Structure 1
Amino acid sequence: MKKIVLAFATMLLVMCISTQSTQAQLKRFSIGPFVEAGFPVGKFNDTHNTGYGIGLGADVKLVAGLTAVGSVSYFRFPGKDYTSNGSTYTYPNYNAVPIRLGLRYQLISLLYVKVEGGTVQYTGKNYNGVGGLVAPGIGIRLLGLDVEAKYEAWFKDGTRGFFGLKAGYNF
């Protein structure tokens, strides 16, 4: 897990260094922090509460309107309480590190659509391992401020889907 995060951080650092000269002229590369909230749907909503995450995203402009995007974050979905045979229990929390790569297409000057795919590393003691993810979304980007609405689905031993809101600032 640490190797994955280290490899991603190294990739971002190399991209920062290699695009330093063009960034001042064309601003083809940006990087920045974000926060996000996830609202579970389906069976996932029966077992878990609203989740919250924090992360780091980056993007590189490719051609007119098309941008390559990537992010790494930490996400936590707290488990809900349930009663069985007169005793109260709590579903285990889902703690995860999603790593996403994808493409963003600028529809008009502010509005974009985006699709990302990648892996999700579960880090909890009750549930761990690696799964896949897919995350289509739509958003608005004004100067460095980026606000996005999306649906994200994680695949491992079934599907855990949620609608998400993400807000960040890119430098």
Structure 2
Amino acid sequence: MKNKSSLLIAFLLLVCSVATQAQLKRFSIGPYVEAGFPVGDFQDTHNTGWGAGLNADIKLVAGFGVTGSVGYMHFGGATVNNFTFNKRAAIPVRIGLKYKLVSILYVKLESGSANFVDSDITGAAFIVAPGVGIRVLGLDVAAKYEAWFREGTMGFFGLKAGYNF
């Protein structure tokens, strides 16, 4: 019984801490949608992609912050010479560092893994994604280049729009 009470107290303290951080605007979380425009060899084999997910930001000191996201990204296969390439679908998990240049403009660098959910490809790819964005109140719009490294590079320019609470 004592362990359950301690666990409940720890959980309540965690919830209060997160709620306090959100009220102080040091922590925000919200949904996003994104579009991906393949480049390089990936452009030859796949069409424009789309995705959605959940993004979180934690403000640190001196304009720095930590950002993270988890979502779903899908690229349809292109048809070349009567051959249709298989789609690429993945669950990207990213974490990164964000730096606010001026009041609404920021740059960020994220990294993580894209866990493939295709039927013909398994495993994960390593992600590197530098970007720039603006955030006005809760609205967050960003442009980025994202590269997935696994037996070659699947690179794309992305546009991401979300709202953080």
Q: Give me the whole-angstrom Cα distance separating, in 2, the residues matched to 1:58 and 1:98.
A: 14
Q: Give me the whole-angstrom Cα distance separating, in 1, the residues matched to 2:83 and 2:162.
A: 36
Residues 74-107 of structure 1: CA deviation (Å, up to 9, x unaligned): 0000000122xxxx22100000010000011000
Shift of 1:15: 7.2
- Change beyond 3 A, Cα 1:110–1:89: same
Q: Is the 8 A contact 1:54 1:75 kept in 2?
A: yes
Provide the alpha-carbon RMSD of the alignment: 1.4
Give the structure 1 partner of residue 6 of structure 2.
none
Alignment of 1:1-171 (within 5 A): 18-24=17-23, 26-83=24-81, 88-171=82-165
Q: Give me the whole-angstrom Cα distance separating, in 2, the residues matched to 1:145 and 1:152.
A: 21
Shift of 1:167: 0.2
User: Runs ≥4 in structure 1, deviation > 3 angstroms?
Assistant: 14-18
The SS at the match of 1:38 is strand
Shift of 1:16: 6.0
Shift of 1:38: 0.4
- Change beyond 3 A, Cα 1:112–1:45: same
Residues 103-153 of structure 1: CA deviation (Å, up to 9, x unaligned): 110000010000000011011001221110000000000000000000000
The SS at the match of 1:74 is strand
- Structure 2 gaps, min length 5: 1-12
| TM-score between both structures, scaled by the size of structure 2 | 0.89
Q: Give me the whole-angstrom Cα distance separating, in 2, the residues matched to 1:82 and 1:40.
A: 15
Work out the number of aligned pairs and report it.
Answer: 153
- Change beyond 3 A, Cα 1:53–1:29: same
The SS at the match of 1:127 is coil
Q: Give me the whole-angstrom Cα distance separating, in 2, the residues matched to 1:136 and 1:15.
A: 32
Q: Give me the whole-angstrom Cα distance separating, in 2, the residues matched to 1:155 and 1:17.
A: 40
- Structure 1 gaps, min length 5: 1-13
Residues 32-74 of structure 1: CA deviation (Å, up to 9, x unaligned): 0000000000000000000000000001111121110000010
What amino acid does structure 2 have at the position aligned with 1:40? P
Q: Is the 8 A contact 1:16 1:29 kept in 2?
A: no
